[in-house]
Chains A and B, each alone.
Chain A
Amino acid sequence: MTPLLAFITKEWLEAARTGKIIILTLLFVMFGIMNPAIAKLMPWMMEILSNTMAENGLMVTDIQVDAMTSWTQFFKNIPMALIAFVLIFSDIFTKEYKSGTLLLVLTKGLSRYKVVLAKTMLLLSLWTVGYGLCFAITYGYNAYFWDNDIANNLFVSAALWWLFGVWVICLMILLSSLLQNNTGVILCVGGTMLAAYALSIIPKAKAYSPTVLMNANSLLTGAEGIDAYAHAIAIAALLCIACVAASIPIVNKRQL
């Protein structure tokens, strides 16, 4: 087994034995089921609320529920899954710095860049599998209850949000290589998101902010074409590579 593969295996074992894999699986399955469930229950909920709404002068008539309602829910819920993902793995580096577990591994001759690569690969794999699981469950239920064909560019929309998640994870890797504790990592990831969101408010800069990728609903409804996301995709992909590449020399120079 190569040192890189050995470290990836160790990362997997850690995630599995500390219960992180189970939590993530439950989370993504729950969100996957919740999207069509909320859509399915919508008419029933509206009916219950109709009397209260009537008192306020709102009339509930015929509620139309289809696959689009479920997909809209999917893109509303997935940010919560990503936040949970960041919270769960925010200590992936800092825990090793604090406890000193990395010290013994590095003194065995393991190159530091392999530590960065192994952790990045594990996080991206878990995000991809978890996100894919959530998508597949929603897709399955939607196909069973309604028709997925109603949604435009469904797979591209899903891929955009996946890429946004990849960017957040790569950012988390960079911040983890810089900072000493996971609270700092969480706060800085949140701060960067806020800055990127603030950037997207400026009309001229909007197309270049990775947060545009979160707005996959517009692509789904056909309100916007794939072209509208081209700049954000390129910027996000470049930032992902830059974040991981910058993490390597930072970890190399870190005193343990």
Chain B
Amino acid sequence: MDVLSIHNLRKSFGGKEMLCGIDMSVPEHSIFGFIGKNGAGKTTTMKAILGLLKVDCGAIHVMGEKVRFGQTATNRYIGYLPDVPEFYSYMTPYEYLTFCGNICGMDEADIKTRSKELLDLVGLRQERHRIKGFSRGMKQRLGIAQALLNRPKLLICDEPTSALDPVGRKEILDILLAAREQTTVLFSTHILSDVERICTEAAFLHDGRIAMQGTIAQLRSRRTSDGFIVETERKEDADTLMPAFGDLRRTGQNALMCHGGEDCFFAVMCYIAEHRIPVQRIERMEPTLESLFLEVTT
């Protein structure tokens, strides 16, 4: 079942079309990476899902219910973490979670246990100070705790790791990975290593459209190989190979790279065998999301 489905979503800002007919679906219990360049329209799409933005055209359904602008009834299924979460700075983390629990209509006992459980998960259980003095990483962690408080069916995170140091990033990704057991995660990012690390599915947003969508394996399989690298033992051997194949490009003194397909690969292998060229290494280059992203966006 799809937790979220978007059909033909369009939105313009002052004559500039930001979203030009987005079609996308997020299956249950997936970690869905929403990839796009800065300014591609990721936050706009997320705000539309949350009913915070009036769209020009199209329909968004969360758990089968239509999202309406201004009246955010579908938000009871959603937990949201904005890119820069802002809290009431005069509250402590526990007070803030209690307040959020009351807003969601949770009962007092559940709020108490759930708040403690989530503060444990994000490592803020011992924090007795007010939010005022929190670092950005601590605010992100508290943001995830508040987003998960009412056991949402869909957790939406808008670039949760983009402004964090490597330790902070790892912490947030680990929390999102752990959250997968309870919910479906949709997170936008332009950090592709994060997507490769935790996502099960991903979609590329480019020029206001979904350029590509599928599981990580499906996306990778769109390009069988990115080519291969041949490293000879001596520089002279590399010099022999270079003129024989036009596709080869030198990347080191005795290292050559080829972006050709299977035919080129076997032709080079035959040439190496026939001419008895001593080889140190032959390595296939696996397609990465980065190469896919670059292919889509350039």
Residues of A bordering B, CB below 8 Å: 1-3, 5-7, 9-10, 13-14, 17-18, 99-101, 103-112, 252-253, 255-256
- B78 contacts A by Cβ under 8 Å: yes
A6 touches B103 (CB 8 A): yes
Is A101 in contact with B88, judged by CB distance below 8 angstroms?
Answer: yes
**Contact A1 B102, CB 8 Å, known A17-B90, A107-B78:** yes
Least CB separation from A251: chain B residue: B70
User: In the complex, how many angstroms separate the beta carbon of B37 from the nearest chain A beta carbon?
Assistant: 23
Report the Cα distance A110→B101, complex, angstroms: 11
Name B91's closest neighbour in chain A (CB-CB).
A13
* Bound-state Cα–Cα, A1 to B86, Å: 23
Q: Kindly state the separation between the CA atoms of A112 and B82 in the bound complex, as whole angstroms.
A: 19
9 nearest CB pairs, A to B: A6-B102, A17-B90, A107-B80, A100-B86, A109-B76, A1-B102, A252-B70, A109-B75, A108-B103
The CA-CA distance from A9 to B99 in the complex, in Å, is: 9
Whether A103 lies near B82 (C-beta < 8 A) is yes
Known pairs A104-B143, A108-B75. 13 more at Cβ < 8 A? Answer: A2-B105, A3-B102, A17-B90, A100-B82, A101-B87, A104-B100, A105-B100, A106-B52, A107-B50, A107-B78, A108-B104, A109-B76, A109-B103
CB-CB < 8 A to B53: which residues of A? 255
Cross-chain contact B87 with A104 (CB below 8 angstroms): yes
- List residues of B whose CB falls within 8 A of some A CB: 50, 52-54, 70-73, 75-76, 78, 80, 82, 84-88, 90-91, 95, 99-100, 102-105, 108, 143, 146, 150
Chain A residues with Cβ under 8 A from B105's Cβ? 2-3
CA distance A10 to B103 in the complex (A): 10
Contact (A103, B86) CB under 8 Å given A13-B91, A252-B71: yes
Cβ distance B139 to chain A, nearest Cβ, rounded Å: 11
Chain B positions within 8 Å of A108 at CB level = 75, 100, 103-104, 150
Chain A residues near B72 (CB-CB < 8 A): 106-107, 109
Give the chain B neighbours of A256 by CB distance below 8 A.
Answer: 52
Instruction: Give the residues in chain A near B100, CB-CB below 8 Å.
Output: 104-105, 108
With a 10 A CB-CB cut-off, give which of A6, A13, A100, A107 has the most chain B CB atoms: A107
A112 to chain B, nearest CB (A): 7
- Majority secondary structure of chain B interface residues (helix, strand, loop or mixed): loop
Asked whether, in the complex, the Cβ of A253 is within 8 Å of the Cβ of B70, the reply is: yes
Nearest Cβ distance between residue B12 and chain A, in whole angstroms?
13
Contacts A/B (CB < 8 Å), 26 sampled? A1-B108, A2-B105, A3-B103, A3-B104, A3-B105, A6-B99, A7-B103, A9-B99, A9-B102, A10-B99, A99-B86, A101-B86, A101-B88, A103-B82, A103-B86, A104-B86, A106-B52, A106-B72, A106-B75, A107-B50, A107-B72, A107-B78, A108-B75, A109-B76, A110-B103, A253-B70
B90→A109 contact, CB < 8 A: no
Nearest chain B CB to A15's CB is how many angstroms away?
10
Assess the B90–A14 pair: CB atoms within 8 A: yes
When distances are taken between beta carbons in the complex, the residues of chain A under 8 Å from B143 are 104
Closest partner residue, chain A, to B88 (CB atom): A101
Asked if A14 and B88 sit within 8 Å, CB to CB, the answer is yes
Given contacts A108-B75, A108-B104, contact A10 B88 (CB under 8 A): yes
Nearest Cβ in chain B — how far from A95, in angstroms? Answer: 10
Residues of A within 8 A of B103 (CB): 3, 6-7, 105, 108-110
Tell me, in angstroms, the Cα distance from A60 to B84 when the chains sit together.
68
Measured in the bound complex, the distance between the Cα atoms of B104 and A99 in whole Å is: 21
Residues of A within 8 A of B104 (CB): 3, 108-109
In the bound complex, CA of A253 to CA of B54 (Å): 9
A107 and B52 in contact (CB under 8 A), knowing A3-B105, A7-B103, A252-B71?
yes
C-alpha gap A21/B105 in the complex (Å) = 28
Closest chain B CB from A21 CB (angstroms): 12
Most buried by B among A17, A104, A108, A111: A108
CA distance A17 to B143 in the complex (A): 22
Q: How far is the CA of A256 from the CA of B90 in the complex (A)?
A: 22
- Give min CB distance, A239 to chain B, whole Å: 25
Q: Which residues of B contact A3 (CB under 8 A)?
A: 102-105
Q: What are the residues of chain B within 8 A of A10 when measuring CB–CB?
A: 88, 99
User: How far, in whole Å, are A2 and B107 apart by their CA atoms in the complex?
Assistant: 10
Q: How many angstroms between the C-alpha atoms of A77 and B71 in the bound complex?
A: 44
Known contacts A106-B52, A108-B100, A100 near B76 by CB under 8 Å: no
Residues of B within 8 A of A101 (CB): 86-88
- CB-CB under 8 A from A17, the residues of chain B are 90
Q: What CA separation (Å) do A103 and B100 show in the bound complex?
A: 12
Residues of A within 8 A of B87 (CB): 101, 104
User: Among B54, B80, B95, which residue has the most Cβ atoms of chain A within 10 A?
Assistant: B80
Chain A nearest Cβ from B140, distance in angstroms:
13
